[in-house]
């Protein structure tokens, strides 16, 4: 536990230790206005001239996606990939090895073959063998598509800029350019239609249409920071369902990423149904003097994803807090969150919130069609990337790690079947792989893909009956959202769907069939 804490603190320290200070405006070529503005105000806040970019996601992602200056993209990408892998005071190499070995020892003490056997006993997947065959099965289906996409991207970069060898810091940049060429779809064209407040209202409206709950902002609840907003959630009879907290902007000392937290679980005691206090935390671009907070489409799906977790917490209806809400098997917990992302692609749902922040016009249908079409753009490569993380996780935890001495060598072996880009010698994944060494995803990273199989299969049911179909929503609420961990997930899923999940729905959606 102490090592995991230290691991996370080191990653945070390394993330904040680096900044790219730009004083020549030419180096900003390609970057969107909003990104420049944020970098300018960060520099101002430090009494510096020019622009400052950091490894925080709202700064890092746009930089490596849009900056024309390849050398600076390289500098940023290498810094990001080298976090806690620099043989300095914040180095995580020893810590990573120690955590893996201690986990293995604990598993052995408890009578399990490996840490993965120990963890997976309480998962839908049940065994490391099942997980590995699940990952490798998807890999076999995704790899041909990924290699084809990578070849297409390589040819595109060569034709556009004469790039001979595509490197990791080129991926996001040329993917974005290729996506624009194929779909003329640019985040910057979409962002004006996704004002944070409206998107949040949209999520609230979707929840109301499906589950009959309403959200009202209130101002008398204590909160830990002024940026946090608080809401009372009520059912159709006006009864309190939950208290919801929204904390959406980066600040110093707050970690990257997005998550859902339950401050107080739902439970029943002495006949009183205690209602939960649930929060969503994200890191979106703050409003500036001239613009409200505008989201990329990716951030819209992130908001809906975390809101799905929140619904799982808010609509809980069980007796014990330890089995309430998201206290379910780990490879089932992503179903309520990932299924919510599907509504972001549906014209009927977008009509609820995608309006231009200046003109008030609704997002044009052609853009909606392009969003849908582009959803499976480079899905082979994206799938390979996710599978590589899952396989690395199983590499650390599904075997005896005591003979691993060098992290880089070990990773190279683990990534052999999924590697597309040339290796970067200064970088390692494991030393900043917070999901599995700081968060609770050890032996569980595969569950993102596992849950995608569930969510694609479940959403097809909604599509068959209508995406706001009350009857399907009631079944989902009754059998999945409200039950928490009181029954085996497969039993709950089959009660909702009438059958076991099939991977075909996911492969169809991803264009991999």
CB atoms near residue 494 (< 10 Å) = 14
pLDDT on residue 80 = 98
pLDDT on residue 277 = 98
What average pLDDT does the segment 15-38 reach? 96
30 vs 26, 69, 75, 225, 347, CA distance in Å?
9, 8, 16, 35, 30
CA distance 139 to 430: 21
CA angle 335, 436, 412 (to 5 degrees): 115
pLDDT at 512 over 90: no
pLDDT at 373 over 90: no
Residue where the block lists tokens 């299969």 = 457
pLDDT at 177 over 90: yes
CA distance 246 to 84: 30
Q: Which pTM does this prediction carry?
A: 0.81
For 142-157, the pLDDT digits (tens) are 999 999 999 999 999 9
Q: In order of start, what are the domains of the chain with their CATH numbers?
A: 90-184+376-513 (1.10.1370.10), 191-374 (1.10.1370.40)
Nearest Cα neighbor of 61 from 296, 375, 346, 349 is: 296
Return phi, psi of residue 355, to 5°. -125, 140
pLDDT at 442 over 90: yes
Task: Categorize the per-residue pLDDT at 1 as very low, low, confident or very high, splitting at 50, 70 and 90.
Answer: very high
CA distance 197 to 294: 9
For residue 375, the Cα-to-chain-centroid distance in whole angstroms is 15
Catalytic machinery residues: 306
Q: What percent of the chain has pLDDT over 90?
A: 90
pLDDT at 324 over 90: yes
The tokens for 467 are 């995406």
What average pLDDT does the segment 212-226 reach? 97
Least confident among 82-86, 218-222, 254-258, 477-481:
254-258
Q: What percent of the chain has pLDDT over 70?
A: 100
Nearest Cα neighbor of 467 from 384, 352, 321, 381 is: 352
Roughly what angle, to the nearest 10 degrees, separates helices 447-465 and 489-497?
20
Least confident among 287-291, 323-327, 376-380:
287-291
- DSSP H or E run through 351: none
pLDDT at 256 over 90: no
CA angle 436, 440, 441 (to 5 degrees): 50
DSSP state of 48: -
Task: Categorize the per-residue pLDDT at 236 as very low, low, confident or very high, splitting at 50, 70 and 90.
Answer: very high
What average pLDDT does the segment 232-261 reach? 95
Average pLDDT of every residue of the chain = 96
pLDDT on residue 228 = 97
CB atoms near residue 14 (< 10 Å) = 24
CA distance 244 to 275: 11
pLDDT on residue 513 = 79
- DSSP bridge pairs for 267: 274
CA distance 371 to 375: 6
pLDDT on residue 75 = 98
Return phi, psi of residue 450, to 5°. -55, -45
Task: Categorize the per-residue pLDDT at 255 as very low, low, confident or very high, splitting at 50, 70 and 90.
Answer: confident
Q: Are 236 and 474 in contact (CB under 8 A)?
A: no
For 107-140, the pLDDT digits (tens) are 999 999 999 999 999 999 999 999 999 999 999 9
262: helix, coil or strand? strand
Q: Are 285 and 294 in contact (CB under 8 A)?
A: yes
CA distance 446 to 243: 31
Return phi, psi of residue 20, to 5°. -105, 110
pLDDT on residue 47 = 98
| H-state helical runs in 162-259 | 168-183, 187-190, 196-211
CA distance 54 to 306: 24
CB atoms near residue 473 (< 10 Å) = 20
355: helix, coil or strand? strand
For residue 133, the Cα-to-chain-centroid distance in whole angstroms is 24
Q: Count CA within 13 A, CB hemisphere, residue 319.
A: 4
CA distance 155 to 145: 15
For residue 437, the Cα-to-chain-centroid distance in whole angstroms is 17
The tokens for 506 are 């996911």
What average pLDDT does the segment 283-297 reach? 93
- DSSP bridge pairs for 294: 195
The tokens for 225 are 């920071």
pLDDT on residue 504 = 86
268: helix, coil or strand? strand
Q: Are 97 and 404 in contact (CB under 8 A)?
A: yes
Residue where the block lists tokens 């082979």 = 380
């Amino acid at each position: 536990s102490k090592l995991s804490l230290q691991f996370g603190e080191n990653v945070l320290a390394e993330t904040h230790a680096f900044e790219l200070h730009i004083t020549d405006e030419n180096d900003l070529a390609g970057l969107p206005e909003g990104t420049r503005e944020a970098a300018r105000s960060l520099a101002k806040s430090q009494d510096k001239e020019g622009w400052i970019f950091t490894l925080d996601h709202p700064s890092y992602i746009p930089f490596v996606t849009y900056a024309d200056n390849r050398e600076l993209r390289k500098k940023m990408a290498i810094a990001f990939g080298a976090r806690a892998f620099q043989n300095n005071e914040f180095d995580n190499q020893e810590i990573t090895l120690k955590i893996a070995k201690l986990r293995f020892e604990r598993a052995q003490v408890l009578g399990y073959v490996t840490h993965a056997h120990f963890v997976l006993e309480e998962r839908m997947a049940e065994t490391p063998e099942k997980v590995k065959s699940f990952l490798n099965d998807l890999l076999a289906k995704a790899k041909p598509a990924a290699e084809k996409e990578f070849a297409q991207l390589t040819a595109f970069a060569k034709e556009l800029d004469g790039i001979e060898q595509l490197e990791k810091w080129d991926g996001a940049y040329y993917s974005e350019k290729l996506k624009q060429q194929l779909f003329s779809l640019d985040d910057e064209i979409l962002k004006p239609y996704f004002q944070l407040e409206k998107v949040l209202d949209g999520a609230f409206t979707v929840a109301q249409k499906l589950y009959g709950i309403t959200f009202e902002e209130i101002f008398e609840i204590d909160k830990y920071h002024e940026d946090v907003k608080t809401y009372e959630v009520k059912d159709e009879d006006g009864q309190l369902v939950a208290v919801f907290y929204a904390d959406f902007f980066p600040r110093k000392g707050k970690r990257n990423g997005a998550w859902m937290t339950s401050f107080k679980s739902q439970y029943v005691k002495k006949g009183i149904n205690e209602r939960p206090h649930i929060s969503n935390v994200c890191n979106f671009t703050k409003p500036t003097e001239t613009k409200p907070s505008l989201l990329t489409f990716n951030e819209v799906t992130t908001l809906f994803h975390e809101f799905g977790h929140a619904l799982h917490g808010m609509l809980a209806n069980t007796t014990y807090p330890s089995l309430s809400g998201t206290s379910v098997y780990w490879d089932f917990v992503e179903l309520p969150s990932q299924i919510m992302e599907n509504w972001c692609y549906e014209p009927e749902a977008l009509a609820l919130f995608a309006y231009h922040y200046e003109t008030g016009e609704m997002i044009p249908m052609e853009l909606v069609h392009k969003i849908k079409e582009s959803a499976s753009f480079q899905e082979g490569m994206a799938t390979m990337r996710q599978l590589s993380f899952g396989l690395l996780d199983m590499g650390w935890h599904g075997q005896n790690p005591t003979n691993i001495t060098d992290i880089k060598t070990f990773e190279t072996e683990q990534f052999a079947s999924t590697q597309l880009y040339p290796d970067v010698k200064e970088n390692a994944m494991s030393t900043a792989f917070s999901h599995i060494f700081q968060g609770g995803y050890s032996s569980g990273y595969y569950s993102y893909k596992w849950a995608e199989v569930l969510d694609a299969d479940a959403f097809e049911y909604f599509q068959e009956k209508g995406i706001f179909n009350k009857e399907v929503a009631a079944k989902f609420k009754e059998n999945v959202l409200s039950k928490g961990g009181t029954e085996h997930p497969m039993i709950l899923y089959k009660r909702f769907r009438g059958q076991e999940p099939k991977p075909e729905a996911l492969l169809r959606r991803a264009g991999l069939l």
